[in-house]
Chain A
Amino acid sequence: MKWGVLSEVYVAVKSLTRQKGILFWVIVFPLLFYGLEVAIWGNPQPETITVGVVNLDRPVDVGNGTLCLGDTFVGAMRESGLFKVVQFNSIDQLKNAVKLGRVDIGVVVPEDFTSQIMNTSHALIEIVSLKTPWASYYESVTQGFVKAYSDEVRNRTINVALTYITGSIANNTANSSWSIPPEYVSYIERFYDFIKQPIRVSEEKLEPPLVGSVGGIRAYYAIGLMGIETLFIGLSMGIFAVIDMKREGTLKVLLSSPLKSYETLASLTLATLFYVGVSCLAIYLFSLPLGADYNMSAGTALATVALILVGALFIIGFGLLLAPAARTPEAATAIMNMIAFPIMFLGGFTVPTFLLPEWIQKFATAYPLSRTIEAVRQMLTYGKGPLWALQYSMPAIIATVVVYAVGVIIYNKLVALAMEG
Chain B
Amino acid sequence: MTDDTSIAQAIGDALAAYDALTALGEEIEDEWGYVNDLAAAWRERLETVVASRGGEAMSAASAAALDRLIAEIEAIHDPHRAIDWLSTFPQVALIALGEAP
Q: Do these two chains interact?
A: no
B interface residues (Cβ-Cβ under 8 A, vs A): none
> Which residues of A are in contact with B by a Cβ distance under 8 Å?
none
